[in-house]
Amino acid sequence: MNDNQLAPECRNSIFAIGAGLNSEKNLVNLLDEVQIKICGMLEAEAASVFLYNREEACMEFLSVTGEVRERIISIKVPMQSIAGEAFLKGEGMIVNHPEGSSSHFKKTDQASGFVTRNLLVFPLKTEKPIGVIEIVNRINGEFSQGDLDILEIFSKMISFKIVNEYNRLRIIQEMKGIIESVSNAIDLRDQYTHQHSKNVSDLSVKIGKELGLNEEQLHELEIAALLHDIGKIGVKDGVLLKPSRLSSQEFALIQQHPKIGRTILEKTSVISQSMLRGIAEHHEKLDGSGYPQGLKGPEIHLFGRIIAVADIFDALISKRVYKKAIQLQEVFGILDSMSPHQLDENIVKCLKKIAPPFETVNP
């Protein structure tokens, strides 16, 4: 169906709902919202998105609207079903009397107590089929060809969103693997800081969860913390690995590593400004006594404040060649003495909630 054949108000509604698919919200939550809007437009009671499970040769729920979600989300729908038939044929279907169809899969109705009176189904596909979208129970009357034409338009939008999101997640995982390799290489350069970046990253994410950060923020925080010491690449071995006390000139060189880290990464498109600031500001202090910029209070990005606490905690609690691991309560005492004038007091409190329940770490 050509979009231009639609009534202007219908076309505007479709575009408005489609625009919502550009949101960066969690995919399932986003699909739930979009399906509710589609149901409103098509005057239907419920909707579901299924993905094809190639290994088990069945359809699985990705998103379900309504109160029945928890009762049916884990049900595997066989290919000998209306959803499976639409997927295999690659065609949309109007089924106004499912009770008379041998393909009607009754288990979901039985599990939910929901009665399917009629439904629309349309395949989700880009280069290849990936699943189906199903709209259930027109509130007044039966579904029409016009309803199916509208669902076809939405199926294309949803298909591209799902494929793009899964491709994005795949790229993120690949990127994360590369970043973890880089952070390990940084830590291995300094024999005293093995696993330090991974420890700081894990702690930072746990603190972020306590603070209520969303999924995207937690991902960015994880990457920033993994790379927080990447600027040490630009510090000479003679300074970075010096076993004795650093001179003031040598310490000044060490203090440049957050700035160097930002310079290394700032032209990388996958590294956001929040990540860059977390890397560049993890040695700043709320009272302005930190480095390299001497930022104060709210001038320091939240990521920088979180990574600062996690960084100091791991450095204190971990055993090094040049020092013993410090007892947990003593570490907390040091962090308490630094907050709220140097460290964010709320972040220190969050750390105490999630800190490992044993006396020392990395013995």
Q: Catalogue the active-site residues.
A: 232
User: Buried b vs exposed e over 203-220: b needs ≥16 C-beta within 10 Å?
Assistant: bbbbbbebbebeeebbbb
Question: In sequence order, what E strands does 79-176 have?
Answer: 93-95, 119-125, 129-138
Those residues with Cβ within 8 angstroms of residue 206's Cβ, 6 or more apart along the chain or in another chain = 354
Side-chain half-sphere exposure of 62, counting CA atoms within 13 A: 24
Within 10 angstroms of residue 173's Cβ, the number of other Cβ atoms is 10
> What is the helix (H) or strand (E) element at residue 53, kind and residue range?
strand 44-53
Q: Which residue from 45, 41, 84, 47 is spatially nearest to 64, judged by alpha carbons?
A: 47
Helix axes of 215-226 and 196-210: crossing angle, nearest 10 degrees: 160
Read off the amino acid at residue 39. Answer: C
CB 75 within 8 A of CB 67: no
Total length of the chain: 363
Phi, psi of 245 (to 5 degrees): -60, 135
Those residues with Cβ within 8 angstroms of residue 70's Cβ, 6 or more apart along the chain or in another chain = none
CB 213 within 8 A of CB 205: no
